[in-house]
A and B are shown apart, each in its own frame.
Chain A
Amino acid sequence: MGEEIEPRIIEGALSLPYRWATGPVGAKFLEGLKNKKILGTRCPKCRRVLVPARKFCPRCFVDTDEWVEVGDKGILRTFTIINFSFVGQVRKPPYIVGIIELDGADVGFTHFIGGVDLTDIEKAARELRPGMRVQAVWREERKGDILDIEYFKPVRE
């Protein structure tokens, strides 16, 4: 097809705004955070307390029918220390993410883990272990958002 030329790269971007509905159960859960409460809902069939609060149980496929306040302390089930960057990242790496089993809940709760010096990642990791107790650190100014909890910190009890 004639003269060969180098393929080019064309740069572009997509930026699409959204407005997302929380639903009434989501709204009540988020309002709870504003008041330093972590709210779950109980499944009438399997009796599990689901956090964040759900309208329905994913396993039993029935609507939940009871609000339950769970603790803001719990057990660290697992964690990782994030040490890479990507578009849309909320925090600057390195930072710790964990799954916490809150007191009174029957499922895990994903959040940041903090209060640990991250200068040396491997050293920081040795200060954490699955099974240890952690507690929510609440922001002074809360607006009804999952980030009203700044992070969960390891605690000795």
Chain B
Amino acid sequence: MRKVAIVGVGQTRCGRRDDVSFPELVHEAVKEALEDARLDIKDIEAFITGSMPAPMSGINAPHLYWADAVGAYRKPIIRVATCGTTGGSIAHTGYYHVASGLFDVVMVVGAEKMYEGDPQGVMTTIWDYRYERPFLAGAPGVFAMQAMEYIHRYNFTLEEVAEAAALLSVKHHLAALDNPYAHIKQEITVEDVLRSRIVAYPIRLLDICPISDGACAVILASEDKARKITDTPVWIKGLGYCGDEQLLADKDLVWWLSAVKAAQKAYKMAGIENPVKQIDVAEVYNPFTYQELTFYECFGFCSRGEAVKLVKQGFFNKDGQLPTDPSGGVLCTNPIGATGLQRIAEAALQVMGRAGKRQIPAVETAFAHAMGGSYSLNSVFILSRSK
């Protein structure tokens, strides 16, 4: 297998983007990525694209709708759609294209226009129509049950977990102010979070990501090409991907098998034995504050049931032992098909040392995550300055 590097990233401004059509939005990210890598569209050999299931945008086979916008005229274009994980899944697919030796330079594009449809209605239709669909209410309804189970599993009081969740929300909202691409830019307090409206008990409005319109593109290249394209290639040192059972009620919602396994696989490939020591910054896919606590445990950032305590100690803050989501994360920006790829783009910018105001000093190794499926898929990337 060949080494694969990230050589360019492009992101659009995210939010309510009624100013552009869906293909125009995609086009913005594609052009940004080409400019970032100083490449021409003719240099891209293949395109891997992805977004949520088609009902999100109301147009079937969205990659066909985007084909002109990504520049896929007379070139291969593939669509991968795994719900929230999409950004991770398309990056995996792009990696396979280059690592296999079949392609030298490929572009991965993820995008969503969530203001054009009814996102929670669409997400509810991923569930089995006979058994679970009538009950499962969008993303908040599902992840709220994870939150309650987490609280119960480790004998926490709701108050102590709610406070840690609120601290995460405050931290990410503050970070998003430094991210020019972020959607929600609002300084908030712990009290604001704890007093915000209950959306799906115990989850409150400020514990939840927004819906966003936005796009992200990442260019991957083989070693030979990468060295010619850039002085700062970001090497994909490890990657892992794992699924779970289909029905929600079959799964362990707290010690989440697919998250644990995806991280373990990526760590093994990248030679990571102690994530906290060896990872300098992590872009965790964090649409829900309570869920983020469980991810820290599944990824081995701390032991089981320990995340609440560590969040309160500032362990994951910008100046903490393992800074997480200096971009503000999913909690402040969530164009779903792009969201997982944004984690990879942001982690790559950290490794390149080009993350602007959100830069963490001296990043050698970064972690990038995506979560989705029907509460079933997790993707992990380990990016590094060295091969």
Could you tell me which A residues sit within 8 Å of B by CB distance? 7, 9, 12-14, 20, 22, 26, 30, 50, 52, 58-59, 77-84, 86-90, 97-99, 107-112, 121-122, 125, 129-131, 146-147
Q: Quick check: is B88 within 8 A (CB to CB) of the other chain?
A: no
Across the interface, do A125 and B138 meet the contact criterion of CB distance under 8 Å? Answer: no
- Could you say which of A22, A26, A30, A130 contacts B149, with CB atoms under 8 Å apart? A130
Interface pair A108/B249, CB less than 8 Å apart: yes
Further 9 A-B residue pairs, CB within 8 A, beyond A87-B121, A99-B249, A146-B130: A20-B129, A80-B148, A80-B202, A82-B141, A82-B200, A84-B200, A88-B121, A89-B124, A97-B136
Residues of the B chain whose Cβ atoms lie less than 8 Å from the Cβ of A52: 130-131
Count of chain A to chain B residue pairs whose CB atoms are closer than 8 Å in the complex: 119
Query: Residue A83 contacts which of B55, B125, B198, B247 (CB distance < 8 angstroms)?
Result: B198
Total count of chain B residues near the partner, CB < 8 A: 44
* B149 neighbours in A (Cβ, 8 Å): 77-78, 99, 130
Measured CA separation A80–B199 after assembly (Å): 10
> Is B201 located at the chain interface by the 8 A CB criterion?
yes
**In the complex, B35 has a CB within 8 A of chain A:** no
Interface residues of B (CB under 8 A from A): 18-21, 55, 58, 118-121, 124-125, 129-132, 134-138, 140-141, 144-149, 152, 197-203, 245-250, 253
Alpha-carbon gap, A99 to B201, bound state (A): 14
Partner of B121, one of A9, A12, A26, A86: A86
Bound-complex Cα distance A77 to B217 (A): 41
A40 shortest CB reach to chain B, Å: 12
Are A78 and B141 neighbours in the complex by a CB distance under 8 Å? Answer: no
Contacts A58-B245, A77-B149, A130-B149 given; indicate if A112 touches B135 (C-beta within 8 A): yes
Knowing A78-B149, A79-B145, A79-B148, say if A89 contacts B249 (CB, 8 Å). no
Q: Is the CB–CB distance between B201 and A83 below 8 Å?
A: yes
- Residues of chain A within 8 A (CB-CB) of B121 are 86-89
Given the known interface contacts A108-B249, A121-B198, the answer about A98 and B145 at a Cβ–Cβ threshold of 8 Å is yes
Q: A80 contacts B144, CB within 8 Å?
A: yes
CB pair A81 B200 closer than 8 Å: yes
**When the two chains form their complex, are residues A84 and B135 in contact, meaning their CB atoms are under 8 A apart?**
no
Residues of A within 8 A of B55 (CB): 14
Bound-state Cα–Cα, A129 to B141, Å? 17
Task: Establish whether residues A78 and B253, one from each chain, have CB atoms under 8 Å apart when the complex forms.
Answer: yes
Q: Is A111 a contact partner of B135 (Cβ separation < 8 A)?
A: yes
Asked whether, in the complex, the Cβ of B250 is within 8 Å of the Cβ of A81, the reply is: no
Which residues of B lie under 8 Å from residue A98 when comparing CB positions? 145
Instruction: Among A9, A87, A109, A111, find the residue whose CB has the most chain B CB atoms closer than 10 A.
Output: A87
Assess A125 versus B201: contact at CB under 8 Å? Given A20-B129, A80-B144, A130-B152: yes
The 8 A-B residue pairs whose C-beta atoms are closest, nearest first, are A108-B249, A87-B121, A80-B144, A86-B120, A81-B201, A130-B152, A78-B149, A87-B118
Q: How far is the CA of A13 from the CA of B55 in the complex (A)?
A: 10
CB-based contact B245/A86 at 8 Å: no
Q: How far is the CA of A7 from the CA of B116 in the complex (A)?
A: 14
A-B contact pairs, 9 of them (CB 8 A): A13-B58, A26-B130, A78-B152, A81-B198, A82-B140, A84-B199, A110-B132, A110-B248, A130-B148
Q: A99–B145 contact, CB under 8 A? A: yes
Contact B141–A121 (Cβ < 8 Å): no
Q: Which residues of B contact A88 (CB under 8 A)?
A: 121, 124-125
Most chain A CB neighbours (cut-off 10 Å) among B121, B129, B135, B202: B135
Q: Say whether B134 contacts A80, CB under 8 Å.
A: no
Min CB distance B182 to A, Å, is 23
Are A59 and B152 touching (Cβ within 8 A)? no
Of chain B, the residue at the smallest CB distance from A109 is B249
Chain B residues in 8 Å Cβ range of A59: 245
Q: Which residue of A lies closest to B253 (CB)?
A: A78
Give the one of B58, B198, B250 with max A CB within 10 A.
B250
Task: Say yes or no: A90 contacts B134, CB within 8 Å.
Answer: yes
List of A residues within 8 angstroms of B141 by Cβ: 80, 82, 97
CA A26 to CA B269, docked complex, whole Å: 42
Selected from B18, B137, B247, B253, the residue in CB contact (under 8 A) with A84 is B137
The answer to whether B137 touches A97, judged by C-beta atoms less than 8 angstroms apart, is yes
In the assembled complex, the Cα of A82 lies from the Cα of B20 at a distance in Å of 33
Q: Which of A50, A77, A83, A125 has the most CB of B within 10 A?
A: A83
